[in-house]
Amino acid sequence: MRRARSATASAPSTTANLGSGFDVFGMALDAFRDTVTVSMSASRGVRVVADGGVPAGARSNTAGLVALAAMRMAGARGLEVRVTKRVPVGMGMGSSAASAAAAAVACDRLLSLRLRPAGLVRLAGTGERASAGAVHYDNVAAAVLGGFVIVRTGPLDVVRMAPPRGMRCCVAVPEVAVPPKKTAASRGLVPRRPRLEDATANVSNAAALVAGMARGDTALVGSAMADAIAEPPRRASVPWLEAARRRAVRAGAAGVAISGAGPSIVAVAPAGADIGAIGEAMRRGLAASRVRCRIVECRPTARGAARA
């Protein structure tokens, strides 16, 4: 049987942390999908062709890093990686993870790696060095597997759950410039040794959030999105958060948090909530800080990275 010369896959946008689950929780959203095509190349190394304003260097592009790792695993000579960006770059919706996850699935198919889901997550995680400066798995696990994920490391273990049926989400994507290496800079704000009372608060909220997912209780999920560790030091870079949160909750949102490293914010709402009113409330909250935004109404999706 003749070996394929190329493979294409797509992967969804995601939101990470959900407030209390820094570096642990992630959830796939049906708002956007990135597409990556990986082809065999006669030239040595990895060549990246990308749109959307992302770096084209193999070692500075998340899909490129994944392809380099996959090429070493397979003993391949060279690959070409074409990235079609749809997830907004640098906005906290898992843009780097979507490209990395799609690249992992495409490389797995093209190079016959036959990786299990955990192996695909581990491979996709190598791409996060390009944006975050280190490997972390919350966004990529959600992008690879879909649904809501809980990430444990040492060794890597990912627990996947279905979000509550009917849960709606609304993401406010601000029209602001983001600095290079924004994710790495945002991670640098998080205290390495939080106070005991803050750690206790987050453990209790994280446990309640997982219980809410298991029960299908969006109200419990939303109330458990409070964060005492990562959010406080990041508020200066997301000054519209509190105003948008107050307005969104009054409009029917169950909870609001910074989406990933920001600057977007995400609201979750139960079935039957007026998601349009929640989005408008968030828009007014950002306007109070003289910031315009794009409102993205979406839902959690069970469809993770897949062949396209």
Residue 263 is predicted with a pLDDT of 96
Q: Taking the complete model, does pTM exceed 0.75, yes or no?
A: yes
All CATH 3.30.70.890 domain ranges of the chain, comma separated, are 168-298
Residue 294 is predicted with a pLDDT of 97
Under-50 pLDDT residues of the chain = 1
* Averaged pLDDT of the chain: 94
What are 271-291's pLDDT values in tens digits? 999 999 999 999 999 999 999
Residue 2 is predicted with a pLDDT of 52
Look at domain 6-162 and name its CATH class.
alpha beta
**CATH level 3 topology of 168-298:** Alpha-Beta Plaits (3.30.70)
Residue 1 is predicted with a pLDDT of 44
Q: State how far the alpha carbon of 169 is from the alpha carbons of 25, 27, 42, 234, 300, in Å.
A: 16, 11, 45, 22, 7
Residue 53 is predicted with a pLDDT of 77
All CATH 3.30.230.10 domain ranges of the chain, comma separated, are 6-162
What are 177-192's pLDDT values in tens digits? 887 777 777 888 888 9
Residue 3 is predicted with a pLDDT of 62
CB neighbours (10 Å) of residue 290? 8
| Amino acid in position 205 | N
